[in-house]
Amino acid sequence: MTVTREYKKAFGQFSSNRTQRPNTLHPVEIELDSQEEVAGGAHSIDFEKGDIILKQSGMYLLIACPQVGKTRGTNNRWIDFWVRINNVDLPNSTIRRVISDSQEKDVVLLNIVTHLNKGDTLSIMMAVEVESEGLGIEAIEPDKEPTIPSVIVTLVQLD
Amino acid sequence: MSVAVFVVLTSSVVSFHLAFASSAELPTECGVFEYNENCELSPVAHLVYGDVVIAGGLSTFLALLFHHFTHKNMLKIDGVIKRVDGIIQSQEEMRIRRKDYSVQHLKNLFQSLLFTTSIIRRSCSNYNLTLTVHADPEKQQWLRSTSLSKLQSDQAVMARLLQTIRNVLVSESDVLEPDVINQTEGVCTYLTAISVEQKADGTMQFQKYEVCRMKIQYLMEQLQAYSVESHSFTEIMTQFTPLERFKASKNEAESAIKGVKS
């Protein structure tokens, strides 16, 4: 028997199991490769690589948690994250983390509340200080544990 | 103050009437209100008849005059109201016609935009083919330059279409719903930033082609929900289409679990 679930409000959780280290100093889009299971229902938000595409207009809460790290160097290096909507950077959404050591791993929290229209495209952007030290977001595969995604993005419609 | 003035005025008028009337000697057989040639008017009758005639005549005249003015003004006001109603109605009809036209125009423009994106993608493929085609260098150079010109002209068409859509949004912003304007503006903003990019190997690629098409189609769905009968956008019940890839992955996972159990 097929159970069809209907959700009134749009929501979505996306993640990436791929390590992404920018090889340019220009902003790059964080790519996503999986979406939450909706238990027989239908996804109310779609995605295509790094673009999250809204199917319903409304006020949304976005929480993105990239797992940052670097591979080389001991100097302090920053890495920035922000949100881009319809290819336009969203003001007051940028956050910065400084990493000094390759052993240092951290999750940074990016959260915004904004109005999005049906068909709007939302992307999480990343920029690094240097391209030679392997700065970026890391997917980690610990022993006897599930994979730690390089980024987890949660998007919930509020109204 | 005004009450005091009124009292003084009234009492003086009455006193004058009484004073003048009282000067004559009345025959004893005449009644107080008797009115004939042999009798003088009594002071009270003088007062009553005089006031009734003067005040009644004056008030009747004023009533008729005011009624005439009121009637005349009412006719004028009715005319003005009719003219204002006519103007409002014609403006509303014009607004509806503009709304119908702008929605239809936007639909056509987005249809053209969808078509142009496909053309640009095909032009990219054509250009990429010229990189691998085996021909003499001169012909290869010619093919490449003509394909590139075609690609650039297609991109120019897309830019013009986007500009036209923006112009429609500006000119029709007073008749279209804010939601539709925002959604259309969002799609235009996204598409304006999208461009054909050359990769390291020299090939051209239409960035995010699928996303562009998806966004245009979402908007066209919205525009197609416009009804010319009600002159409004009918509510689109968002039906979230299940994505087959997730269903497939779920089935695979379930079968894998069953396999492990068995």
Write out pLDDT tens, residues B201-226: 888 988 889 889 988 988 898 898 89
Beta carbons of B219 and B191 less than 8 angstroms apart: no
The SS3 call for residue B208 is coil
Q: Are B194 and A87 in contact (CB < 8 Å)?
A: yes
User: CB pairs below 8 Å between A and B: how many?
Assistant: 72
Beta carbons of A112 and A62 less than 8 angstroms apart: yes
CB < 8 Å from A in window 148-187 of B: 179, 182-183, 186-187
Torsional sign, CA A130, A136, A141, A143: positive
The residues, any chain, with a CB within 8 Å of residue B47's CB and separated by 6 or more, are: B14, B17, B18, B21
Of residues B190, B238, B241, nearest to A121 (C-beta): B190
Determine the residue among A2, A7, A118 to mutate to test chain B binding: the one whose Cβ has the most chain B Cβ atoms within 10 Å.
A118
Torsional sign, CA B236, B239, B243, B246: positive
DSSP class per residue in B136-203 = -HHHHHHHHHHHHHHHHHHHHHHHHHHHHHHHHHHHTTTTS-HHHHHHHHHHHHHHHH--EEE-TTS-
| A21 CA to centre of own chain | 14
Backbone torsions φ then ψ of B23, nearest 5 degrees: -70, -30
pLDDT value at position B256? 47
Position with higher pLDDT, B37 vs A121: A121
Tokens at residue A3, please?
């159970």
Determine the residue among A6, A87, A88 to mutate to test chain B binding: the one whose Cβ has the most chain B Cβ atoms within 10 Å.
A87
pLDDT value at position B261? 44
Q: Are A86 and B208 in contact (CB < 8 Å)?
A: no
Distance CA A31, CA A150 (A): 10
Checking ipTM against 0.90, whether it exceeds it is: no
pLDDT value at position B262? 43
pLDDT value at position A137? 96
Of residues B186, B222, B243, nearest to A120 (C-beta): B186
Walking along chain B (262 residues) 10 residues at a time, the average pLDDT comes out as 60 60 58 78 78 84 94 94 95 93 94 94 91 83 90 93 94 90 91 87 88 89 88 68 45 50 44
pLDDT value at position B199? 86
Distance CA A58, CA A44 (A): 12
pLDDT value at position A18? 94
Q: How many CA atoms lie within 13 A of A29 on its CB side?
A: 19
pLDDT value at position A89? 94
Q: Are A57 and B210 in contact (CB < 8 Å)?
A: no
B241/A contact by beta carbon, under 8 A: yes
pLDDT value at position A44? 83
Q: Are A87 and B192 in contact (CB < 8 Å)?
A: yes
Contacts of A48 in chain B (CB under 8 A): 208, 210-211, 214
Strands (E) across chain A are located at 11-16, 28-29, 34-35, 45-48, 51-54, 58-69, 77-85, 88-89, 95-99, 106-107, 110-116, 121-128, 136-137, 151-157
**Taking CA B133 as the corner, what is the angle to CA B127 and CA B137, rounded to the nearest 5 degrees?**
100
Instruction: Locate the chain B residue with the closest alpha carbon to A122.
Output: B190
Instruction: Locate the chain A residue with the closest alpha carbon to B180.
Output: A117
Distance CA A122, CA A134 (A): 25
Radius of gyration of chain B (CA): 46
Beta carbons of A15 and A151 less than 8 angstroms apart: yes
The residues, any chain, with a CB within 8 Å of residue A133's CB and separated by 6 or more, are: A70, A71, A72, A73, A75, A77
CB atoms within 10 A of CB A147: 11
Tell me the mean pLDDT in the region A17-32: 94
Above pLDDT 90, what percent of chain A? Answer: 75
Q: Please name the amino acid found at residue B241.
A: T
Instruction: Measure in Å the smallest separation between the Cα of A101 and chain B Cα atoms.
Output: 32
Of residues A7, A37, A88, nearest to B189 (C-beta): A88
CB < 8 Å from B in window 72-91 of A: 85-88
Q: Are B242 and A35 in contact (CB < 8 Å)?
A: no
pLDDT value at position A140? 93
User: At A68, is the pLDDT very low, low, confident or very high (cuts 50, 70, 90)?
Assistant: very high
